[in-house]
Structure 1
Amino acid sequence: MGRLALFLLTACLSVTAMAADAIKSERKETFGDVTVHYNTFNSTYLLPDVAKAAQLTRSKDQGVINISVIKAGTPMAADVSGTVKDLTSQSYTLNFKQVTEQGAIYYIAQYPVPQQEIRTFNIKVQTGDKINTINFNQELFPGQ
């Protein structure tokens, strides 16, 4: 599973490099001493064995959102939930799975990407008794 964490991090960074117009270089929000890193990309960027290990569907019409929570330079567990809304205001619940590996904790979820459009993400990250919210828009493209 260490390979999965490394790949997800690499995928986030390489997707950023390959689609600079569609994805900002570093996406993070800081809430006091907690930093939440987030990124979203098309699931076709995942290698088949990595997608299988993460129990993700690799498809041109499936996106992946990846969240990590860091406190004092150390990954921390959190309760992560959220929704993604399309231009018609149809909302999809993001069902996050926690992936814990050597020195890393990630939260990943999938959502449909049937066509090119801008989506609105609403992510809630609960650490202890604090609930922090991240809202962002992302232009998404179905994969090849």
Structure 2
Amino acid sequence: MGRLALVLLTACLSVTAVAADAIKGERKEVFGDTTVHYNTFNSTFLTPDIAKAAELTRSKNQGVINISVLKDGKPQMAQVSGTVKDLTSQSVNLNFKQITEQGAIYYIAQYPVDQQETRTFDIKVQTGDKINTINFNQELFPGE
């Protein structure tokens, strides 16, 4: 599973480099001493082995959102939930699962990507009694 964290991080960084026009700079929100990093990408960026290990469906019509929470620069456990909406305001709940390995904690969820369009993500991250919200738009493309 140690490879999974490395591959997810690499996939996020690769997507950032590939989609430089869509993603300007690092994707993060800072809430006091807590920083939430987030990224979304098509599941075809994952190798079949990594997708299987993370129990993700690897498909050109499936996206992945990856969230990590750091407090004072160290991985922080959180409760992560959210939705993704299309332009007609149809909403899909994001069912995040926690992946913990070798000093890293990630929260990942999948969602359908049937066509090219801009989607709105609404993410809630709860650490202790604090609930922080992240809202962002992302243009999505079905994979190759």
Q: Confirm or deny: 8 A CA contact 1:22 1:140 kept in the other structure.
A: no
User: Residue 72 of structure 1 aligns with which residue?
Assistant: 72
- Uncovered stretches (5+) of structure 2, i.e. residues with no partner: none
Partners of 2:143 and 2:3 in 1: how far apart?
A: 23
User: Residue 25 of structure 2 aligns with which residue?
Assistant: 25
- Uncovered stretches (5+) of structure 1, i.e. residues with no partner: none
Offset at 1:22?
A: 2.4
Matches within 5 A, 1:34-113: 34-113=34-113
Give the paired residue count: 144
Q: Summarize deviations over 1:69-110 as a string: whole Å, max 9, x none.
A: 001110010000000000110000000000000010000000
Offset at 1:126?
A: 0.2
Q: Summarize deviations over 1:111-139 as a string: whole Å, max 9, x none.
A: 00000000000000000000000000000
User: Residue 131 of structure 2 aligns with which residue?
Assistant: 131
Q: Confirm or deny: 8 A CA contact 1:17 1:25 kept in the other structure.
A: no
Amino acid at match of 1:78: A
Offset at 1:19?
A: 1.7
Moved over 2 A (4+): 22-25
DSSP-derived class of the 2:10 partner: helix
RMSD over aligned Cα, in angstroms?
0.6
DSSP-derived class of the 1:57 partner: coil
Q: Percent identity?
A: 84
DSSP-derived class of the 2:83 partner: strand
